[in-house]
Amino acid sequence: MSVDESTWKFFQQHLGYNDEEMALFRANPRNEEVLAKAPELMQKTIVAEVVESHGCNSQHKVGDRFLFDGAGNLLTTKCPRRICIYALQGLAGLIFSTNELAYAGVDPDSLRFRRTGCFDVGVRCGGWGHIVMEVRVEDRSKYQAKQ
């Protein structure tokens, strides 16, 4: 599992590393492992779909989807016009987990606990509203024309 020199050069430029920083980056064997597996992960889209919603101030509804590329970048042009920051914070751990599974050579869609929600507890518990989202990983080709 080796990474070619052009990939290292690309990432040095992409991350803005000087030669000293790049030497540190390359000295960590996990970075080479991640870069070697990244192309496969970049062929995936991470989908967080709202599966429950009540009282959401941002008006997120069941069926709304937040799409992320395989690296975890929000694809803003493919999402609702308004996105609640409190919904996004609940997704960070699950998106990280899909990445870790892929880097470990495990199907990134094999998460067992794939639901999360915003931290607003809803009106019955003293908040305003609450949404629940479920994360799945799909082939990027399904969304290619839309991205």
> pLDDT tens across 57-81, in order?
999 999 999 999 999 999 999 999 9
**Residue 105: partners with Cβ closer than 8 Å, 6 or more residues away:** 37
Domain residue spans of the chain: 5-40, 44-146
Distance CA 141, CA 147 (A): 10
Distance CA 62, CA 16 (A): 40
Q: At 53, list the tokens.
A: 């919603």
pLDDT exceeds cutoff 60 at 51: yes
pLDDT exceeds cutoff 90 at 145: no
> pLDDT tens across 130-141, in order?
999 999 999 998
Question: At 116, is the secondary structure helix, strand, or coil?
Answer: strand
Model pLDDT, residue 2: 85
Model pLDDT, residue 147: 44
